[in-house]
């Protein structure tokens, strides 16, 4: 049978505790980063949907691609 001293058990427990803390900190940081990416992705999707709606509401041939807007005042009303 292998005899283990109390100091070795304490050292092993300390290493395990440090590893657990590092794991939890890393896990929380990863989760926070993923949440931030998802939020930016959702915001980009909303902006794209809004831009597509403005483009679709613009009469044919009146969209100014350089300015990203309709050149017609009639773009606000739909037929």
pLDDT digits (tens, 9 = 90+) for 22-75: 999 999 999 999 999 999 999 999 999 998 999 899 988 898 888 888 987 654
Amino acid 13: pLDDT: 94
In a domain, 1, yes or no: no
Q: Measured in whole angstroms, how far is the alpha carbon of residue 58 from the centre of its chain?
A: 31
Tell the residue number behind the tokens 């050292």, with chain if given: 11
Total count of domains within the chain: 1
CB-CB contact of 73 with 57 (8 Å): no
Query: Is the model's pTM score more than 0.75?
Result: no
Amino acid 65: pLDDT: 86
Structural domain including 40 reads 6-76
Q: Residues 6 or more apart from 76 whose CB is under 8 A from it?
A: 57
Sign of the C-alpha dihedral computed for residues 66, 72, 77 and 79 taken in this order:
negative
In a domain, 54, yes or no: yes
Separation of first and last alpha carbons in the chain: 89
């Amino acid at each position: 049978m292998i005899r283990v001293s109390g100091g070795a058990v304490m050292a092993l427990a300390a290493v395990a505790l440090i590893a657990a803390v590092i794991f939890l900190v890393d896990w929380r940081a990863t989760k926070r980063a993923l949440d931030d990416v998802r939020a930016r992705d959702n915001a980009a999707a909303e902006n794209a949907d809004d831009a597509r709606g403005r483009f679709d509401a613009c009469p044919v041939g009146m969209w100014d691609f350089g300015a990203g807007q309709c050149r017609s005042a009639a773009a606000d009303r739909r037929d």
